[in-house]
Amino acid sequence: MSLHLLYLIFVRLCGWLILLSRSSASKDAELLVLRHEVAVLRWTHPRRRLDWADRAVMAALIRLLPGRLRAPAGHTRHRPAVAPSPGHQAGTGKRQPK
């Protein structure tokens, strides 16, 4: 058991050393490839629609979570605010003259 743990620690440390030696361009390329793989997987395997039984189980499980971990009523997911484009004034929707 301890030999297996030492092996896992050694492999993890070697992985970190390899990451430190890589250039930022290769890290960026890897991120782009991984994002593309995720996009392809989402396209080929669309999200499963939940039926009423699934929703009932999820609701029961969510009630077991502490209050600080639960989303407020009516909010199922957090969506970050979208930053306005540089050509728009904040709050109006009219373009600024150039």
Assigned domain for 16 exists: yes
pLDDT at 80: 58
The number of domains in the chain is: 1
Report the distance separating Cα 24 and Cα 18, nearest Å: 12
Assigned domain for 77 exists: no
Assigned domain for 71 exists: no
Tell which wins on pLDDT, 30 or 8.
8
pLDDT at 33: 87
DSSP code, position 2: H
Assigned domain for 98 exists: no
3-state DSSP assignment of residue 65: coil
Task: State the Rg of the chain over Cα.
Answer: 23
Assigned domain for 2 exists: no
One-letter identity of residue 96: Q
Q: Which domain holds residue 40?
A: 10-63
Assigned domain for 58 exists: yes
- 88's CB contacts (< 8 A; 6+ apart) are 94, 95, 96
- Whose structure tokens read 């150039």? 98
Assigned domain for 35 exists: yes
pLDDT at 47: 75
| pLDDT tens digits along 47-91 | 778 888 888 888 888 888 777 777 666 555 555 566 656 665 555
- With residues binned 3-state (H G I as helix, E B as strand, rest as coil), the percentages for the chain, rounded to 5, are 55, 0, 45
Assigned domain for 46 exists: yes
